[in-house]
Amino acid sequence: MELRQLVYFDAVVRLGGFTRAAESLHIAQPAISAQIRRLETELGAELLQRSTRRVSLTHAGELFWSRTRRALDELDAARADLDQLASVLRGRVRIGATQVLGTLELPVKLADFRRRYPGLGLTLRSGLMEALLEALDGGELDVVIGPVHADLSPRYVVRRLVEESVVLVSPPGHRLSDPSGSLAAARDESFVCLPAGSGLHEILTRAATAAGFVPRIEFETYSPASIRELVSAGLGVALVAGSAARTPGPPVEVYPLSHLSHPAIGLLVLGERPLTPAAAAFRDFLTDSLPDPSQ
């Protein structure tokens, strides 16, 4: 049995006759007839009832055509998969990521993805969420990984990756007057924070307002990692992501804040711009390799 015999047989059935099948396939009609006869001989069953006016399936033909369609559909799907794989292997992915990524070990995931697609180009840009989204809008990035804030524009399509928390940190040995987990205990402290416009700055100002005070921000930094360094040096207290307080680094006192929440970490793409095959492969690889954050 040859693949061309299945293609010829399928065309005759779908188009209702040998003449139309021959015209569609650009094959001489006698060649199609001969190949289907050989197919019937090999199968030991008549597949088509032939007349001068029409061609119809026999019962055996109906059974065989059903299987033929499945085989040809699977072959078409395999070709599509290979075409997509070829596009992935020739492409590159431009990734933007914040420093706050919860439990997501991005370098490990990038290494795993590179091993799967060794010829793929990868670039990584780090920064604050606002700047990364501007780069995504401008076509400089394919995907952005970072906190998904509640006021995020609906033009972005989000896949949640991991959860995150927010904690209060103070210099080592510096105990707050009320370590019960209330931000009000830090009302008289100096704060270290990211600049206005950042998600962390918004979380701090809203939480302080709810606690009845205006935070005295004396030190601002564009690096989430340096917040901990400044706090550890005794320059103030700060709200930071729980993952940033748990990782190895300068010593700080950590106070959980049960009444505050941190946005989940997600992968964002621009909904109006289709992803390249390489970027889509990275998105699917990353989300499939992580547990469902809603579980």
Question: What's the longest Cα–Cα distance across the chain?
Answer: 99
**pLDDT band at residue 155 using 50, 70 and 90 as cut-offs:** very high
User: In the predicted model, what is the mean pLDDT of residues 7-29?
Assistant: 88
pLDDT tens for each residue of 260-283? 888 999 999 999 999 988 899 899
pLDDT value for 181: 67
- DSSP calls for the chain: --HHHHHHHHHHHHHTSHHHHHHHHT--HHHHHHHHHHHHHHHTS--EEE-SS-EEE-HHHHHHHHHHHHHHHHHHHHHHHHHHHHHHHH-EEEEEE-S--TT--HHHHHHHHHHHSTT-EEEEEE--HHHHHHHHHTTS-SEEEEE--TT--TTEEEEEEE---EEEEE-TT---S--SS-GGGGTTSEEEEPPTTSHHHHHHHHHHHHHT---EEEEE-S-HHHHHHHHHTTS-BEEEEHHHHHSS-S--EEEE-TT---PPEEEEEETTSPPPHHHHHHHHHHHHTS--TT-
Q: Is the pLDDT of residue 217 over 90?
A: yes
Q: Are residues 135 and 179 in the same domain?
A: no
In a domain, 125, yes or no: yes
Confidence of residue 142 (pLDDT cuts 50, 70, 90): very high
Q: Which of 29-38, 174-183, 239-248, 262-271 has the lowest mean pLDDT?
A: 174-183
Nearest of 163, 176, 162 to residue 254 by alpha carbon: 176
145/178 same-domain check: no
208-231 CB burial, b ≥16 within 10 A, e <16: beeeeeebebebeeeebeebbebb
Over range 108-137, report the average pLDDT. 92
Q: Is residue 213 part of a domain?
A: yes
How far apart (Å, rounded) are the C-alpha atoms in residues 271 and 275? 9
Residues in Cβ contact with 156 at an 8 Å cutoff, skipping those fewer than 6 apart: 133, 136, 268, 269, 270, 271
pLDDT of 140 over the 90 cut: yes
pTM of the model as a whole: 0.66
- Check pLDDT > 70 for residue 33: yes
Please state, rounded to an integer, the average pLDDT across all residues of the chain.
89
Per-residue pLDDT at 89: 66
Residue 295 forms part of a structural domain: no
* Strands ordered across the beta sheet of 143-147: 121-126, 92-97, 143-147, 265-270, 156-162
Residue 30 lies in a domain: yes
- If asked whether residues 243 and 284 sit together in one domain, one would say no
Whether residues 107 and 140 share a domain: the answer is: yes
Q: Which domain holds residue 15?
A: 3-82
Helix axis angle, 106-116 relative to 277-288, nearest 10°? Answer: 120
Q: How many domains does the chain have?
A: 3
Identify the domain boundary among 82, 108, 134.
82
Q: What is the pLDDT of residue 88?
A: 64
Domain membership of residue 294 (yes or no) is no
Look at residue 178 and tell me whether its pLDDT is greater than 70: no
Tell me: pLDDT of 253 over 80: yes
Residues 28-55 have a mean pLDDT of 86
Q: Is the pLDDT of residue 77 over 90?
A: no
Closest C-alpha to 98, from 207, 241, 1: 241
CATH number at residue 212: 3.40.190.10
215 and 100 in a common domain: no
Same domain, yes or no: 280 and 152: yes
| Within-domain flag for 242 | yes
Examine the domain organization and report whether 171 and 31 are in the same domain.
Answer: no
The predicted pLDDT at position 80 comes to 78
